[in-house]
Chain A
Amino acid sequence: MVTTLTSPSTPTWENVFSTASGAVYQCDAENCWYIDFAGKVAGFNYRCLQKLKKAIYHIDIEAKLLDTSKDPDVEIIFICACDHTYILTLLQVIALKELLQGTFVMLELNSILHDKLYRTAC
């Protein structure tokens, strides 16, 4: 399940979740996550990842799909105090949301495993 990417210059990244359009890795050494999506790999600490989740989850995809105005269907995801900005089409928003949802499920699973295996093991 877990693929590990290692190269001499970078600390170990563990794959948290991947889809056809991207992947999320966790770096234990740096306490952060790397998101490989829309042609770039961007690092997010805990706060920024939470902000990204909130920004993406709050986009009303259905309303945007039904929107018949001529505005381009492009979303600018700007996260305060975070170095990265995403400019995404609606399809990319859907793909990123799917990637994040899977990621948070896997992080939750990881938390459960920690609880069961280490924290309450006796």
Chain B
Amino acid sequence: MKDLIRIKSLLSTEVEELLNQQVKKEAMSSSIYLAMASWCNRNGFDYSSEYFFKQAEEERQHQLKFYKYILDMGGNAISPDVTGIKQEYNSFREVFEDALDQEISVTQSIKKIYARCLSEQDYITNEFLNWFLKEQREEEYKARRALELFEVIGEEGTGHWEIDRHVGKIKYESDAS
């Protein structure tokens, strides 16, 4: 009897489903960052707005990377519904707190896929995910650094103005990168 399933696809049903969930997660991230870009722009934080526009674009690229990988491996990539995106924030700081939360949850879900792939010896997908593990290092670093600015600069006086300017300059250029 032919091994028809393996002939058609490299991915197990479970991994394919997890990857499709990640497609949705990246699409959500992109939309969340877009909403943040809008909020910052409306409130006069132009550098932060620019920063979030860039992040939104990156998340879109992440989404497509997962999407194309699923298709390349013989799976069925599902275009996700993205709804319920938060549009309003109570403060400048809350925007960055949410941004870090979002990145942490993305890291967690990529770890979950990684663990699943290891358990079924899908090293091919593990290797594909390596890029994202490294990316999450940078993503969490940048989100954490932005929040740190609220501590080191302080929110009093022209603090917000100063924080905004520095957000535009955040880069991950560590020796460990």
Q: Which residues of A contact B3 (CB under 8 A)?
A: 110-111, 114
Interface bracket on B: 10 to 19
Contacts of B2 in A (CB 8 A): 26, 28, 31
Contact status of A107 and B76, CB under 8 A, knowing A50-B13, A53-B13? no
Q: How far is the CA of A50 from the CA of B16 in the complex (A)?
A: 11
Decide: A26 near B5, CB < 8 A? Known: A47-B76, A50-B13, A53-B13: no
Kindly list chain B residues whose C-beta atoms are within 8 Å of the C-beta of A16: 1
Could you tell me the distance between the alpha carbons of A54 and B17 in the complex, rounded to whole angstroms?
Answer: 10
In the complex, number of A-B residue pairs with CB atoms less than 8 Å apart: 32
Find residues 1-50 in chain B having any chain A CB closer than 8 Å to their own CB. 1-9, 13
Q: Chain A: which residue is nearest B2 at the CB level?
A: A28
The tally of residues in A whose CB lies under 8 Å from a CB in B reads 17
B4–A31 CB distance below 8 A: yes
B92 to chain A, nearest CB (A): 42
Q: Are B8 and A46 in contact (CB under 8 A)?
A: yes
In the bound assembly, the distance between CA atoms of A33 and B117 in angstroms comes to 27
A14 at the interface (CB under 8 A from B): yes
A2 interfacial by beta-carbon distance below 8 Å: yes
Partner of B6 from A2, A32, A111 at Cβ < 8 Å: A111
Report the bound CA distance from A16 to B3 in whole Å: 12
Most buried by A among B2, B4, B8: B4
Q: Which residues of A contact B (CB under 8 A)?
A: 2, 14, 16, 26, 28, 31-33, 46-47, 50, 53-54, 107, 110-111, 114
